[in-house]
Each structure stands twice: as C-alpha cells, then as structure tokens.
Structure 1
C-alpha cells in the first residue's frame, strides 16, 4: 500500500480539499483508496509524533504513536487498499508558529522527519500547495484576526516582508526529511478551485470523483467582515479596506519584493528544482484527447478519414 501526504499548506484551499476527500470517501474506497484527515489525525492517532507535555518522555510518546499508526496501516493493507491519502496541514507546522517566528514553516524538516519515522519510513509521495507570500500572509493574519482579534504592527509586517526564507527553502527541507519521496508542488493560484485535479496529481491517475469538487470551505473572510471585526476591536481598518485581497497590509514596495521572490520560486520549480520536486500546473485531471481540425466547420468524415489532431 502506498502512502501519500497532502501537506497543505495553510490558507491554500486545504480545508476545501479535505471536505472533498471526506465527502467522496465511499467512492474512493470502491476505487481502492483510503483517506485520513484532520478529524481522525488530531483526535489521537498522531498524538505523540511531535512531543507534548506529558509524563511520558518524547521517545516513549513516539514509540506509542508509531505502534498505533502501524496497527492502523496494517488493517488497511489487510483490506486490500492500494493507496492511502493523509491530509493535515499541521504536519508542516501551525499558522501561529509561523506568525510567532515570522518565518515560513521554520521547523518543517524536523517535523516531517518525525512523521516519516512514525509511519515506518513508508511515505511514497508528497503534495505541497504554495501561494504568493503577500497573499498567504494576508490570509493568515485575517484568520487570526477573526479568531482572536490580533492585529499585526508595522514592525512585524516589515519583518515578514523582508523574510529571506521562501517556498524554495521549505521544499528543500521537505526533500531532506523525506529522501527518495516524490514531491509534487502545486501553485494555489492555478489549482485552488480544483480539488479533483489535486487528487489526480497526487494519485498519479485520472479516475477520481467529481462530486463536491466546487464547494469551498474556510475561505478568507470578506473585506466587509474584516473591517467590521477591526472596528469592533477599536482598530483603524484602513490597511484592510485598501485592497479587497487583504494584501494592503503591506506597502507597495513590500508587495513587489514578495511577489518577486515567489516568481523566482516558480522559475526554480519550472526549471526542475534541482531534482528535488516537480511542479504541476494542470487545472483538469482529464487526459489529453482528440480535438477537431481547426479548419473543420462541421462534424463527419472528410475524404473518408476523420480529421483530427492530437491535443
């Protein structure tokens, strides 16, 4: 049985993907695929993979977690499943940890090495969805604003904008933690509305369900909701109201710098990512088909043969 990880990231349509997977669990089971999502993973299955406050030592916590996960995997294999998709963006880290350290998943490598060990080193493929940093951080701050009413200061925003760690560094950390594991990177800007295309890329085949593929979950709050929340907190909503996408938190030169970094990351991925990962930008899971000849104006045969060309 193959094990595939969907790592998110946060604020990159991961909740919509998990809803799609959960809603199609029966259809996926018929095809021979299993799914573990946050409701299962965060209620005890992964407990102890990353150390928590406990009377048990970190080594004892990991030992118990590894045994627990191993038993569940053995049961799935006994059922004859061909692949298991494990989806939880918290495997990379948390939004609060990112905001606290003002870095992009600074402990990603360390955390994933622990998950690899907990699963017996059996991770075959990993999918990471990346997003332009100016929009990623704006969405992350909107998330914390609506949850806890926290508003970033100008110094904090400037430090985020000047951050040198990019998605390229996160990918390199993942590659180091998961050697011999295939890494697929999807740009959020192209694949966010297509959970079925993301699943097809992760599984390496096109026979995936289409139901619930256009249902959005945990989307960024609207500008109106953010402005109302800010006013309730007694804060001037100016920066949030400046741009509908929330990126108005950052100055124009900061947004330009962050966009340039993201462009460099995409260029690096399209150039082969030094063999560490491959980028997927296909928005539909359908295989290439046959298109009509551009000169054809009606259906039917032409000179006894069908006019056609490969896509």
Structure 2
C-alpha cells in the first residue's frame, strides 16, 4: 500500500467574525500525533507570535481550571457550564485587550482522553458531543478546528506504550484483536466533529506529514509565516523498549520483546488491516470528505501536473511501504 502526496490545500487566513474582536482556532490533537511538540513550540515562541497578533493557550492554561464544567461528564449541571462559559469569556476578553487577533487553543483532551479510548477500544467515542460543548462555550468565536490524524496501527501502539509506562499493563490478545478489528476509524471521528460544529471549518493534518514540523503546522493553521526557532524539539515521544522494561516489574518486563525498538504489540495481519483502513480514510479526505473537512497536504510539495501518477491505494494491495510513514512515537 503506497500513500501518495496530496494536493496542498492550506487553510485560508482566518477573518474575524462580524462583531467579534478575535478569531479562535481550536487545535484538538489527537493524542500521540506530535501535539505536545507543537504546544512546546508555541510556548517557546509566544512573545514573537504575540507581536504578530497570535495568542496561544495550551494545556498549562486550559487544564488549570479554565475548561472546568465545559466538557460533558458524569455530572453535567447547567450551573457549572454557565460558570465555565463565564470564566472562558473573561479569559478571551483579556487576550483581546492584549492585542490578540487570532488565538490558537491547543489541548488534545478537548477531543477526549486516551484512557477512554483504551477502555472502550475505539477512537474518541464522544468526540462530537465534546466538540459541540467547547464550540458553544466560545460563543461564536471559533472559526477553525484543526485535527491531527495518524496511521491507526502506529496511533494505537503509541497510545498503548504510553499507558504501559504508566502502569496500565500489557493488553491481552483479545483486547488487541478488539482494537485491530474495530469499526470506528478517523472518518467516523471527523464526521462526528463536523456534525457538531456547523459553520466552522475543519482541517485535517496527517501526522506523517507534519510530525516534527510544528512551524509548518502553525503556518497551515494560521495561513501566515511561522517562526523557525524551537521547531526541532521532539517532546513526549513513545518510550522505547529498554525504557519500558526499566519502568515495569521484572515479570511484566520479561513479556516484552527484546531489542531497543519502539514497542508494537500488534500481529502483522492486524497492523496491515489497520493501515488499509487508514488508507481508505485518507482517500476519502483527498476526494473531498463529503464536504465535511479539508485535508492539508505537504506545503513543500508542488501540485501535480496534468499527468497524474497512478497511486496504489486499493484496499488489500501492500506493495512497498511509504518511507514517510513514521514509526510509533
């Protein structure tokens, strides 16, 4: 299965909504898609970006109580939501007074949590409901939502490795098969999100193109130039096998494969199936995604000429793996 470059379709520059002093761009992850590296880059360049009229809120701010009461939960009282919306409105007003014209809010937990994904063995089952709450809380200021996606076998391997280091244990063969054969893919997540945010542009940035390139990602998000400083620092990568073994009890560590590669618990047939599903998702995005979202291609790739290549994107054909597809991490 070969993945070919997609046409470059960067988001158009955000224009302020009528009556709004500032546009809000929600960068919702997903997890294990170089989101932490992007957030680190944004924090390190915050002062430079502010001079360009670009503000940034990351998890250091959003998870310190700002979003409390906004996302749906087991206790979803209207009073808590009103308080959360009021707290958010005050923070937005503060950013506006500082001269921010476009605010990038990056927090992958807006989409959901890895813990729930693994508990239910599926991708972000409540993505639509959560995004509806967040967009509503911003009261019409959200112009764009940015989603990162990743090959399913690498996404799940990275998520499971992240959990393994935090004591969640090695998944059973039954659990792995449940994940590998799951019917929910990125297409379902995208459809749920788009249905929940009518009138808001939804952009999809593949990990295989934008990982390790937070400057290119910011340029795609804002439609303008991005600082080049601090853009090559990789944060929160999936631990390799030696690090995993060192963090686990000896009996569990002995169950891990030998070597120093990144851990991939899936059988080859399972991984191949998940990659085929991901290829179908990319094809759907490349052909318009039913008007629900736009795929952002590699900004360094020139558009194809009149004679197009013949991409091998048919499910089941696995000739040579594209070297750009990154390993789990």
Taking structure 2 as the reference length, the TM-score comes to 0.81
Helix, strand or coil: the match of 2:100?
A: coil
Root-mean-square deviation (CA, aligned residues, Å) is 2.0
1:64 aligns with 2:83: yes
Name the CA distance, whole Å, in 2 between partners of 1:218 and 1:142. Answer: 12
Helix, strand or coil: the match of 1:103?
A: coil
Helix, strand or coil: the match of 2:142?
A: coil
1:271 aligns with 2:287: yes
Q: Which residue of 2 aligns with 1:297?
A: none
1:259 aligns with 2:278: no
Name the CA distance, whole Å, in 2 between partners of 1:193 and 1:85. Answer: 19
1:232 aligns with 2:253: no
Cα shift at 1:246? 2.5
1:246 aligns with 2:281: no
C-alpha deviations, 1:203-235, integer Å up to 9, x for none?
A: 012x21111100011011012212344553535
Q: Which residue of 2 aligns with 1:28?
A: 49
CA 1:75 to 1:230, structure 2 compared with 1: closer, same or farther past 3 Å? closer
Q: Which residue of 1 aligns with 2:146?
A: 127
- Between stretches 157-166 and 271-280, larger displacement belongs to 271-280
Q: Which residue of 1 aligns with 2:96?
A: 77
Name the CA distance, whole Å, in 2 between partners of 1:118 and 1:98. Answer: 24
CA 1:67 to 1:287, structure 2 compared with 1: closer, same or farther past 3 Å? farther
Q: Which residue of 1 aligns with 2:306?
A: none
2:246–2:253: 8 Å Cα contact kept in structure 1? Answer: no
C-alpha deviations, 1:91-140, integer Å up to 9, x for none?
A: 00000000001110000000010101111132101111101111111111
1:135–1:245: 8 Å Cα contact kept in structure 2? Answer: no
CA 1:217 to 1:140, structure 2 compared with 1: closer, same or farther past 3 Å? same
- Between stretches 70-79 and 253-262, larger displacement belongs to 70-79
Which residue, out of 34, 37, 59, partners 2:58? 37
CA 1:53 to 1:262, structure 2 compared with 1: closer, same or farther past 3 Å? closer
Which residue, out of 24, 33, 40, partners 1:3? 24
Cα shift at 1:236? 3.7
Cα shift at 1:79? 3.0
Q: Which residue of 2 aligns with 1:218?
A: 236
Gaps of 5+ in 1: 289-311
1:3–1:83: 8 Å Cα contact kept in structure 2? Answer: yes
Q: Which residue of 1 aligns with 2:38?
A: 17
- Between stretches 225-234 and 129-138, larger displacement belongs to 225-234
1:195 aligns with 2:211: no
Tell me which of the two structures has the higher relative contact order, counting C-alpha pairs closer than 8 angstroms and 6 or more residues apart.
2
Cα shift at 1:77? 2.1
Taking structure 1 as the reference length, the TM-score comes to 0.86
2:245–2:253: 8 Å Cα contact kept in structure 1? Answer: no
Structure having the higher helix fraction is: 1
Cα shift at 1:83? 0.2
1:45–1:69: 8 Å Cα contact kept in structure 2? Answer: yes
C-alpha deviations, 1:247-292, integer Å up to 9, x for none?
A: 3x111111111010000001111111111111112255x999xxxx
Cα shift at 1:160? 0.2
Gaps of 5+ in 2: 1-21, 304-329
Name the CA distance, whole Å, in 1 between partners of 2:182 and 2:33. Answer: 20
